[in-house]
Structure 1
């Protein structure tokens, strides 16, 4: 009998490295062409953002014009979510879009009408590509729903996302106003470093909760995957944390990029494209992380396949219980038969033989 040759130190090192879970996540991400998928998503997201901002403010401009504090809160949320996109009152850098031009946008003009049409096509295209990319990472077939129904679903998801952005800005406004009121009650100046830090942490917390909710909606509502609640929450929290770090770093880098005279004319646009590319990579890496965790748990992401697997397991469990019940009944019958006199047992044996058709 021959034995397998013992691995050397280099082979053992490679085995340990490739068994490391983050390495396996990146291998899955790369094996599914994650970098290519993220690049395509980032390109579509760039155009979808501009169209969504113009159309969204054109529709909601009437409400926002009556509340300057809500305007500032909404601009801060957008600037915190996509650094460098707009020039927010709370941000130090100059964005690609002047917020005053957004407030004067009108959906009833020719430009506004065109922007709405562009929004519909770009948003639906981006959401459809995002769904396909996430399902590719999970190795799940594309949905078989009718085309028009699928696009209507994408449009509804886009509208819900806009409502979520507005709701997060209201939440940010309420939370920061509450903190300022509390500081005033304690007679603490808002210019105090501790007060400034507290207000900053409140804003980051709102963005963190918003990112977590968006990631959960991306995997469950948009992609239509079956993900256990525990794994979904873990992946969404991990992704929101990574996005928070990325936004913080991107905000400082985009602010520095505009001071370069060589890149000043298009640095913000290039920076936004790079930032969106990194964001899409984070989304797909989180999807890879969840997919590997589900593979470890033996759970399928395809709702149809998972339903069939659960039904098969339930059927196997039912048959096993029936076999166990039949065995218990047989055991009870044997015990009862042994307790009877010998001539009754002999008669029962003859009866059973005739029932089975034995000679």
Structure 2
């Protein structure tokens, strides 16, 4: 009893041990040990170029729908502004709305430009896939390169459609709130109306971010994450990204007040912004990975036969380890055993040797 009490850590060592066992700390340790911060920096640099390619292709393809509907256009631009502060529209933004709406892929110049920019955006998706798979301690996908690029292009198209649908939902929800408030005799420009409109916009952004993260982890990365782990992690990431977007204006404003960065403040601000966003994405991936590991859930895609075979191999390895430990114990005991016990131990060692030979076959 005294030895057990002495071996149990107390005070500061006990506190450190408890902290080290907490999931948030284990997640950050896993994130750091697998190179998460380095991946986030590289992804942020790629994202800065990929987002321009995505915008060009998106407005070149869907621009003819957006130009004819000013309400949908304004809602879509507001959605992009909330997602990436300082990118389009507004004073000091990198890209003007008129420039985007004038884009066209008609003609060889437009086709070549669209192809190059689309390739840049697809490369970002490929890098994101690789980073997430490494955080799940998985090798790269075995799918053919061409098929992977087609998959990435399909996901990019789906995201563009989802962005349009989100803008449409934003228009619909705003109209619905205005009609409801008018019916109740409350002005839509009142304090309550502005708060409600802002809350609806944040909920739409939360749903879009959560769905995007879930798709990035399960579909883009090709990892069979259980639905509960997936949606809990994606929702946490969506909330974190929402908080970043709320603080995005202050971030860009801080960069513009720095005299060393004033000449290209928005560009630096966007690079910092993308780095933070990529950090959030990869930390959420680490959270899901650690949670699956704690629950004993494999992140690999295995058929039932392969999973059964792997479990059998793990059982054989465990039995082999136990047999080796027992053999070591008996070998140590044999040196000090009496003549009567020696014979019994030797027979036990013979049985263990046969068992080890069978398990190693």
Normalized against structure 1, the TM-score is what?
A: 0.81
For residue 261 of structure 2, give the secondary structure of its aligned residue in structure 1: coil
Q: Tell me, in whole angstroms, the C-alpha distance in 2 between the residues paired with 1:182 and 1:27.
A: 49
Contact 2:261–2:268 under 8 Å retained in 1 = no
CA distance in 2, matches of 1:36, 1:244: 23
3-state SS of 1:84 partner = coil
Post-superposition CA distance 1:94-121 (Å, at most 9, x none):
4221111111112125653343122221
State the partner residue of 1:86. 88
1:54–1:112 CA contact under 8 A, matched in 2: no
1: distance between equivalents of 2:298 and 2:10?
Answer: 37
**1:21 deviation in Å?**
1.2
Q: 1:176 to 1:256 in 2, by over 3 A?
A: farther
Q: Which residue of 2 aligns with 1:150?
A: 148
Q: Does 1:63 align with 2:65?
A: yes
Structure richer in helix, relative to its length: 2
- Where does structure 1 differ by over 4 angstroms across 4 or more consecutive aligned residues? 1-6, 259-262, 310-314
> Match for residue 291 of structure 2?
293
Q: How far did 1:273 drift?
A: 0.7
Kindly report which structure 2 residues correspond to 1:143-182, keeping only aligned pairs within 5 A, or say none.
Answer: 143-182=141-180
How many Å separate the matches in 1 of 2:66 and 2:153? 23
Give 1:296 deviation, angstroms: 1.1
Cα distance in 2 for partners of 1:241, 1:166 equals 21
Q: 1:151: how far off?
A: 1.4
Match in the other structure for 1:208: 206
Alignment of 1:20-31 (within 5 A): 20-31=22-33
User: What corresponds to 2:195 in structure 1?
Assistant: 197
Superposition map of 1:203-352 within 5 A: 203-258=201-256, 262-304=260-302, 308-309=306-307
- Alpha-carbon distance change, 12 to 160 in structure 1, aligned in 2, over 3 angstroms: same
1:352 is matched with which residue? none
Quick check: 1:231–1:294 contact (8 Å CA) kept in 2?
Answer: yes
Q: Deviations over 1:221-252 (max 9, x none)?
A: 10000111111110011000010001111123
Once residues 242 and 2 of structure 1 are traced to their aligned partners in structure 2, the CA distance between those partners, rounded to angstroms, is 44
CA distance in 1, matches of 2:226, 2:22: 23
Say if 1:6 and 1:202 are closer, same or farther in 2 by CA, change over 3 A: closer
Query: Which ranges of structure 2 fall in alignment gaps of 5 or more residues?
Result: 315-361
Distance change in 2, residues 1:259/1:180 (3 Å): farther
Correspondence for 1:130: 128
Deviation at 1:82, TM superposition (A): 1.0
TM-score (normalised: structure 2):
0.81
Tell me, in whole angstroms, the C-alpha distance in 2 between the residues paired with 1:200 and 1:237.
Answer: 19
Alignment partner of 1:119 is 2:121: no
Quick one: distance in 2 between partners of 1:87 and 1:259?
20
Q: Does 284-293 or 186-195 show the bigger shift?
A: 186-195
Q: Give SS of 1:303's match.
A: coil
* CA RMSD, Structure 1 to Structure 2 (Å): 2.4
Q: What is the CA-CA distance between 1:180 and the residue it aligns to? A: 1.3
